[in-house]
């Protein structure tokens, strides 16, 4: 903790401001990071839900077309070229959206709820050379 305070004092001296101001700016920045992370997480989860619905529609349309013995060209157009090229891309993006949403949202909530911890963590990471 002494290293962190020394780092803040050194940074404040270089900027020509009080150390409390620098620390306050770091705390405010953690609020900003937290809000952005929550927004990214929520948008990713909404995209995930929409893509799950799209995947369901593609599968349902393909199976109903196949069962009725109708022309399968619509289903093949949805699936893309080859063995489900578009479908595989949609599944990949769906999984990526889920992972992003599940990672960003809790971190953003924690940064918003406890910005002091993340400000100190950022200082210690900077001192530690991370």
* DSSP assignments along 68-116, one per residue: HT---HHHHHHH-STTTHHHHHHHHHHHHHHHHHHHHHHHHHHHHH-HH
Give how far the C-alpha of residue 59 lies from the chain's centroid of Cα atoms, to the nearest Å: 27
At residue 20, the pLDDT reads 72
3 Cβ neighbours under 8 A, 6+ residues apart: 124, 127
At residue 13, the pLDDT reads 73
Vertex 30: Cα angle to 26 and 33 (nearest 5): 135
Contact between 48 and 101 under an 8 Å Cβ cutoff? The reply is yes
Length of the chain: 130
Contact between 94 and 40 under an 8 Å Cβ cutoff? The reply is no
State how many domains the chain has.
1
Extract the tokens encoding 92: 């990949």
Full residue range of the structural domain in which residue 16 is found: 2-127
Distance separating alpha carbons of residues 108 and 34, to the nearest angstrom: 4
Regions of the chain where pLDDT drops below 50: 81-82
């Amino acid at each position: 903790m002494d290293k962190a305070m020394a780092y803040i004092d050194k940074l404040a001296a270089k900027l020509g401001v009080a150390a409390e101001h620098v620390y306050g700016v770091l705390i405010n920045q953690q609020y900003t990071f937290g809000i952005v992370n929550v927004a990214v997480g929520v948008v990713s989860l909404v995209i995930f839900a929409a893509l799950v619905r799209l995947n369901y529609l593609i599968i349902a349309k393909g199976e109903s077309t196949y069962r009725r013995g109708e022309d399968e060209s619509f289903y093949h157009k949805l699936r893309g070229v080859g063995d489900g090229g578009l479908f595989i891309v949609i599944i990949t993006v769906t999984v990526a959206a889920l992972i992003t949403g599940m990672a960003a949202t809790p971190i953003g909530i924690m940064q918003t709820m406890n910005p002091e911890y993340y400000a100190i963590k950022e200082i210690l990471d900077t001192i530690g050379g991370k």
